[in-house]
Each structure stands twice: as C-alpha cells, then as structure tokens.
C-alpha cells in the first residue's frame, strides 16, 4: 500500500519544528505501524537523510514507550492498544497519516517524535510507592482483600505510564495517570498507612510539573491503551479531599 505521511520533525528541544511530508510506497499490509516507520527510515538513511526519531521498546504493547499521536489521537483511533500494536491493515491505500509527538508542556520534545516523560517518574518518586518491608511472599489469603478492591486495584495497576492520557487531554492533565498510580495502592491494605501522604505528594508534584487540570471530558480513558477508567480520577479527587481535610484539622 502507498501512503502519505505528515510527520513532525524537530531537530532539538529549541527548534521550532515543522510538519514534513514523506511518501511511503509499497508498505506491506501485514507490518505494524512502527515497522512501517522502520521501512521509511531505511529509505531515508539510504538516501543520506536524517531518519525520523521515535521511541519504542518492547513492541508488544506492555512497556508504554511508544508515544505517537496518529491522526490526532494518541496511539491511533484503535481502542485499548498502544501505537506499536497498530497494524497497517487498519489503514487504506492512499491514506494520508499525520504522525505527531505526545504534546504537553510537561512532556518537552527531545527530537522529532521523542518526548521527555520523566515528569511521570518524579510523580511516582513523590509518593507512588509503599515503604514497608514486604519480606517473602505471604501465604495466600493471609491478608484479606475484598474482590472489589482487588479488581479495582488490579485495573489501575494495568497503567503502563505511556502518557497517552496527557497527550489526549485538552488540558494536558495527568489525572488519569496519577489516579491510576494512586488508586492502585490506595485500594490495598499495604497502601493504607501512607495513603493521605501519597495522594497529597503526588497531586502536588503533578501540579508542580505543569500538567493541566482535569475538566472531566474523559478523552484520557478513550485513548488509554489499558482502558483504565476515569473512576480512578474520581477516587483521586475523593482521596485528595479527605487528605486535605485531615491535614488541615491535624496540622499544628
């Protein structure tokens, strides 16, 4: 199949960047989106050009490294998958495909389609962990967890931290990511002792990183490759309100 690619090219973080057009000819339908980019890059290199830089790692939808906005939708319009899992058979011969980086002030562009997502790491470092010695594996059911909590925690823990939620949000808000990471731990007994501290620290770090604010439009859950529900945002709002109230009343 023959395609026209409109790709964001940007030499470095200070460059203004621009859309450049590439003709991608004779692309096999069976190849994945990233393989298609590999083919295009091979040709660019053969012609002595500068290949299109993009992030990728596992290419099997579990690492959260690929970060392409395809036709204005992070990870493309296909629901519940990452960009690396998109296959060219989902497009039609002659299509024009727009490929842009995940856009957010908190995700500065490193080069072309590569963005710096270390803001997420700093949010995790602020509170997305438990600091207890867990020792060796416990006997099953030694620590009772209700089915609802186990399910909710597991669903939230599916977050691979790719940042598509931020990229899709009209306000570049990181609420789905922070909500997922906080409720993953806040639903479980091991997460209880540090719950309030965790929520306050993660939300404050999120604000400090320059992410926007949630306006409850749920674009994030629509593009999330792990289909994480905006329920985690409601829980984050609730946990935050409780933590703030406790902080205000117990502060001395």
Partner 1 sequence: MIKGNYKMNPLGKAILQFWRSSIGRKIVVALTGVLLVLFLFGHVAGNLLIFQGREAMNSYAQFLHEMLHGQGVWIARIGLLVAFVLHIWATISLTRENKEARNARYACDNTVQASRSSRIMIWSGLTVLAFVIFHIFHFTIRVDPDLANLPDTAYAAENPGESRHDVYAMVIKGFQNPLVVLFYIVGITLLCSHLSHGVASLFQTLGLRSRKTSGFETKLSWAVAIALWIGFLSIPFAVMVGALKNKPGGGHAEVAPPSGAPVAIADIHEG
Cα 100 from Cα 28, distance rounded (Å): 22
**Angle between helix 118-127 and helix 195-208 axes, rounded to 10 deg:** 150
Cα 204 from Cα 24, distance rounded (Å): 45
Whichever of 142 and 251 has its CB closer to partner 1, that residue is 251
* Total residue count of the chain as it appears in this document: 252
Residues that bind partner 1 (CB under 8 A): 6, 8, 19, 69, 71-73, 77, 98, 100, 103-106, 168-173, 203-204, 206-207, 210-219, 222-223, 229-231, 233-241, 244, 247-248, 251-252
Sole residue written with tokens 């990471």: 181
Whichever of 36 and 168 has its CB closer to partner 1, that residue is 168
Taking Cα atoms as reference points, which of 154, 156, 194 lies closest to residue 175? 156
Whichever of 42 and 116 has its CB closer to partner 1, that residue is 116
The strand pair at 3-9 and 96-101 is best described as: parallel
Residue 224 CB, nearest distance to partner 1 (Å)?
A: 11
Whichever of 55 and 239 has its CB closer to partner 1, that residue is 239
Per the CB < 8 A criterion, the answer to whether 111 and 50 are in contact is no
Taking Cα atoms as reference points, which of 199, 232, 228 lies closest to residue 214? 232
Residue 240 CB, nearest distance to partner 1 (Å)?
A: 5
Residue 218 CB, nearest distance to partner 1 (Å)?
A: 6
Residue 42 CB, nearest distance to partner 1 (Å)?
A: 25
Whichever of 55 and 221 has its CB closer to partner 1, that residue is 221
Residue 179 CB, nearest distance to partner 1 (Å)?
A: 10
Whichever of 23 and 247 has its CB closer to partner 1, that residue is 247
Residue 77 CB, nearest distance to partner 1 (Å)?
A: 8
In 129-178, beta strands by DSSP E: none
Cα 107 from Cα 127, distance rounded (Å): 20
Taking Cα atoms as reference points, which of 173, 191, 177 lies closest to residue 104? 173
């Amino acid at each position: 199949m023959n395609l026209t690619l409109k790709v964001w090219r940007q030499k470095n973080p200070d460059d203004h960047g621009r859309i450049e057009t590439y003709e991608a000819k004779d692309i096999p339908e069976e190849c994945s989106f990233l393989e298609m980019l590999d083919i295009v890059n091979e040709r660019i290199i053969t012609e002595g050009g500068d290949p299109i830089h993009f992030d990728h790692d596992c290419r099997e939808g579990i690492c959260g490294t690929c970060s392409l906005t395809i036709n204005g939708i992070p990870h493309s319009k296909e629901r519940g998958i990452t960009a690396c899992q998109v296959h060219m058979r989902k497009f039609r011969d002659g299509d024009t495909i727009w490929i842009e980086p995940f856009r957010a002030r908190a995700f500065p562009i490193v080069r072309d389609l590569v963005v710096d997502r270390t803001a997420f790491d700093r949010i995790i470092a602020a509170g997305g962990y438990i600091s207890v010695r867990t020792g060796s594996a416990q006997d099953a059911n030694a620590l009772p967890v209700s089915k609802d909590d186990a399910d909710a925690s597991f669903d939230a823990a599916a977050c691979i931290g790719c940042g598509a939620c931020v990229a899709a949000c009209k306000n570049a808000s990181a609420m789905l990511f922070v909500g997922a990471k906080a409720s993953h731990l806040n639903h479980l007994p091991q997460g209880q002792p540090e719950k309030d501290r965790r929520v306050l620290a993660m939300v404050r770090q999120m604000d400090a990183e320059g992410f926007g604010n949630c306006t409850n439009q749920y674009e994030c859950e629509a593009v999330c490759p792990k289909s994480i529900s905006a329920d985690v945002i409601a829980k984050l709002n609730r946990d935050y309100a409780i933590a703030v109230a406790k902080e205000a009343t117990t502060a001395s």
